[in-house]
Amino acid sequence: DTNLESPLKETAVTTTTGFESISLMCCQEYKLLCWTQCPLFLRSLDPPNTFKSHIPESGCPTINKIIDNLYYVALDISQSENSSWKSQKGAQLILNSLKETYNHLETLLKTGYYSEIASRIQTNAKIFLNGNDPSNPKDWVSGKNLVFGAQEDVRAGLHKVHDNLKEFKQLLKLAGAREIKNINFDIKTQTYSQKDKLLSGLLDSFEQNDTMHHDVVFQIHHKDEIEEIKANRYVLSAASEHFKALFCGKMKEAIEYQKVIVDIDDIEPSTFRVLIRWLHGQELEEAISTVLNDSKCSDVFLVDLLKASDKYQVDPLKDQVEILIIKGSYVNIDNAIEINEWAKLLRATQLNNYCQQYIKENKTLVIEKKIVSFIKGLFFEISRNFYLFIY
């Protein structure tokens, strides 16, 4: 084929006798591997696949021809003053030829042709394009100028491997490229979490319930008694927008460096302790277990905690309590209606929807249980009034 596209035509083998030995001819599919070294079949006479399947090596350039073509492209064509090669099309042809050549040689190395290729590759020959610009002499390097694994150039003349060449590792190492060795080192890591350390410290200081670490006293009014729970305003302010507004805003409790007393009369002490522990970072179920001393949690306690999370605008805790009530099967035919009413009042949407579905699915039993409870309550009230009347 003497009619290749430009600029391949200018450097292709075109001098022939008109008739060539088939063993010297190459197929069009190998054009970019050998066009400067081997005559190519005319497109119209390119051997069909059926022919090549019987004689696999037919039309394929030898290793020597491929490497000679590579040398010619790298050392002559890339630095040619021919405007066709300096054009965008010419540069792309060089890039395509190089990639195809490197890939073909890499494949041959993996299939047992190491010695044949090694005998032809000179470690000081600058035949590898370590960049994107074939016309830039600085981008052309030899194998011994390259280092695999380097993040930056090591020094002048010793470069990191460009992304375009990384897939041809065996070829480059054969040509003298070096590689930074990864060290297999047994690292002994201490199990430590600063987050856990901080959480533990905060909970320990909360447990001490002293005045040294705390500047807020919550007075919980419960059964004609007052139970004091001490806390730190800055910890609470960091964990809750409600307490941030209370202690760092314009309210009377926000006076800095002054001990603050907050009265609470609508939440149980144990419920409030769980709330404070959760705000300190403790998991909900762990906080409940700690406060209740592993005794069984009740639906009444969880509804009270739901009220507290709503009052103090701690929506994430509110969501967790809803899920705990649902997953823990705390809703039953005895309390489904009451819990549903609280869920609606507190805007606990998931729990509200769950209770409504539960009541719908168990309507008859819920009603029967409610009637029995009503009759028992009515009987108790009548008995009580009768007793008071008699005595």
The reported pLDDT for the residue numbered 255 is 58
If you average pLDDT over every residue of the chain, what do you get?
87
Supply the pLDDT for residue 210.
Answer: 65
pTM over 0.75: no
Predicted pLDDT at 202? 76
DSSP 302-360: HHHHHHHHHHTT-HHHHHHHHHHHHHTT---TTTHHHHHHHHHHTT-HHHHHHHHHHHH
Q: What is the reported pLDDT for 249? A: 67
Cα(369)–Cα(220) distance, rounded to whole angstroms?
35
Name the nearest CA neighbour of 352 among 311, 317, 318, 308: 318
What does the pLDDT read at residue 358? 95
| Residue 3: DSSP 8-state | -
What are the residue ranges in the chain where pLDDT is below 50?
386, 389, 391
Helices 349-361, 363-390: axis angle to 10 degrees equals 90
Residue 201 pLDDT: 75
